[in-house]
C-alpha cells in the first residue's frame, strides 16, 4: 500500500480504531495479481456480516480473469473504466430482494466487512455505482429477484501519478461531515446553515 499520513486528511472527533480512518477508496490500482487465499479471506469476512433473520441475501460475482473482466468493461461507465481497468479483481455485489426487507441494508453491511478485511490484508477497494445495471444483469445472467448494487474494484494500491491527470487531484482520503450534522436526538432536525 502506498504510504500516506492519514492524519493529514482525516481526524476523528471521538476515539475510534485507526483502521476506520485508514480505509478509503483509491483509484490507482497496481495490476499485481491478488492471491486466491488473500481474496477469499476478504470474501470470508464479508460472509460473516450480520443480516436480518440471518438470511444472508448478498451474493458476489467475481471477475478475476481477463475474459471475465472484459465482460464487466462492457457495462461499466466510461469514467470508471478510465481507472478500474488496472484492478485485478472486480466484484459485483447483489442481493436477493425476496430474502428480506433488509436485503440492501444487509448487502451494504457485507460490503463494509469486505472493505475492512481487504484493508487489513494490504489491499484497497473502490465501490462503483456507475454501471449499466440492466446490461450487467443480461451479460452475467442474473435472475430478476436480485438487485444489483455496486461493482467493487479490489487490488493493491499504486502511485497516484500512474492515473490520468484528471484523477490525480482526487486521489486522497475524503473527509466526513461532523457527527453533529449526522446524529439527531429525539427526531430528525433540519441542518442549520
CA distance 28 to 31: 10
The domain ranges of the chain are: 23-162
* CA 115 to the chain's CA centroid: 6
Q: In this structure, what C-alpha cell is assigned to residue 76?
A: 461499466
The order of strands in the sheet holding 58-63 is: 58-63, 89-96, 146-155, 124-128
Q: In this structure, what C-alpha cell is assigned to residue 38?
A: 488473500
Q: What is the pTM of this model?
A: 0.92
- Whether the pLDDT of residue 190 is over 90: the answer is no
CA distance 94 to 28: 25
61 has which bridge partners? 92
Tell me which residue has cell 462503483. 128
CA-CA-CA-CA torsion for 79, 175, 126, 81, nearest 10 degrees? 10
CB 53 within 8 A of CB 103: no
CA distance 106 to 57: 7
Please compute the mean of the pLDDT values over residues 47-60 and round it to a whole number. 97
The Cβ of residue 126 has, within 10 Å, a number of other Cβ atoms equal to 22
The CATH classification number of 23-162 equals 3.40.109.10
Please compute the mean of the pLDDT values over residues 51-61 and round it to a whole number. 97
Please compute the mean of the pLDDT values over residues 140-149 and round it to a whole number. 98
- Convert the pLDDT of each residue in 109-129 to its tens digit: 999 999 999 999 999 999 999
Amino acid at each position: 500500500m502506498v504510504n500516506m499520513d492519514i492524519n493529514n486528511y482525516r481526524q476523528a472527533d471521538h476515539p475510534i480504531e485507526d483502521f476506520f480512518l485508514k480505509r478509503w477508496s483509491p483509484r490507482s490500482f497496481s495490476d499485481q495479481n491478488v492471491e486466491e487465499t488473500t481474496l477469499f479471506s476478504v470474501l470470508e469476512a464479508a460472509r460473516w456480516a450480520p443480516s436480518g433473520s440471518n438470511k444472508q441475501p448478498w451474493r458476489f460475482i467475481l471477475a478475476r480473469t481477463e475474459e471475465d473482466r472484459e465482460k464487466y468493461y462492457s457495462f461499466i461507465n466510461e469514467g470508471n473504466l478510465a481507472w478500474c481497468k488496472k484492478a485485478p479483481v472486480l466484484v459485483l455485489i447483489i442481493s436477493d430482494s425476496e430474502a428480506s426487507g433488509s436485503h440492501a441494508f444487509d448487502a451494504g453491511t457485507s460490503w463494509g466487512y469486505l472493505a475492512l478485511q481487504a484493508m487489513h490484508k494490504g489491499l484497497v477497494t473502490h465501490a462503483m455505482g456507475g454501471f449499466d445495471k440492466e446490461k450487467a444483469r443480461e451479460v452475467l445472467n442474473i435472475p430478476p429477484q436480485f438487485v444489483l448494487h455496486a461493482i467493487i474494484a479490489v487490488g493493491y494500491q499504486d502511485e497516484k501519478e500512474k492515473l490520468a491527470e484528471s484523477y490525480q487531484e482526487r486521489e486522497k482520503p475524503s473527509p466526513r461531515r461532523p457527527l453533529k450534522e449526522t446524529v439527531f436526538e429525539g427526531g430528525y432536525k433540519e441542518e442549520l446553515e
